[in-house]
Amino acid sequence: MDTISLVLGVVAALLHAAAYVLYNRQAKLGQSQPNPISWSVWAFLAILNALTFTGMSDRVSALQFVAGSVACFCTFIYVLTIGKFAWPKRGAKEWKIFGLGIIAAIVWFAFHSAEWANMVVLLGFVISFKPTYDGVKADPNKETPLSWVIWTVAFGITIINLIIRDKELVAFITPVVLLLSHGSIAVLSRQSRKRTFQLRGALTTA
């Protein structure tokens, strides 16, 4: 059972990292338009998430998040250097969400419980995810689903691993929420929705 769990942890971590590599390529080709507010907060929160999730579970279960913390930070720096971020205008609501995300992360330092600390970090993720969700909901062409599908599958594997390792219910909250959030982007950016969006645009301009 320990061997199976370790294999699942490694597979989830490799898939998670591979999705970031794919996303970098999508961003460079213009197939994905990363929201700078979401990604700047995620780069910081991913590290805190890896630390707190490890504290509330174990190193094997947290392999995906450890790999993700490094890959997310590298992706943010890469996309920043290639100039693919479209920064929102001054006073835009995205900046308020950025502030809320940072506040949620700072509050983490006031907690001594890994479980509660991870919930605060998760709150920061949810808050900072909204600009990306809203952007893709308004225009499915802002993202390409493949990398988001891989991230979703990786979270699913981590959830299975937690079941195998008989973890407490609180340990499932973060991977379940992240599976649903990443999966929502995959659904919203699917090809059928893009075709419908383009058809509506053509009819509007006709």
Give the model confidence (pLDDT) of 93-112 as tens digits: 666 666 766 776 677 677 66
* Structure token pair of residue 117: 């600390």
DSSP 80-131: HHTT---PPPTT-HHHHHHHHHHHHHHHGGG---HHHHHHHHHHHHHHHHHH
Quick count: other Cβ atoms within 10 Å of Cβ 166?
8
Alpha-carbon span 103 to 99, nearest angstrom: 6
Give the model confidence (pLDDT) of 31-66 as tens digits: 898 888 788 878 878 888 888 888 888 888 889 999
For residue 91, pLDDT over 70 is answered with no
Q: Is 108 left (phi over 0), alpha (psi -120 to 50) or beta?
A: alpha
Q: What pLDDT was estimated at residue 85?
A: 75
pTM of the predicted structure, to 2 decimals? 0.86
Alpha-carbon span 59 to 141, nearest angstrom: 37
C-alpha pair distances (Å), 26 with each of 9, 20, 142, 154, 206? 26, 10, 11, 19, 31
| End-to-end Cα, the chain, rounded Å | 61
**pLDDT band (50, 70, 90) for residue 139:** very high
Give the model confidence (pLDDT) of 147-202 as tens digits: 999 999 999 999 999 999 888 898 999 999 999 999 999 999 999 999 998 888 76
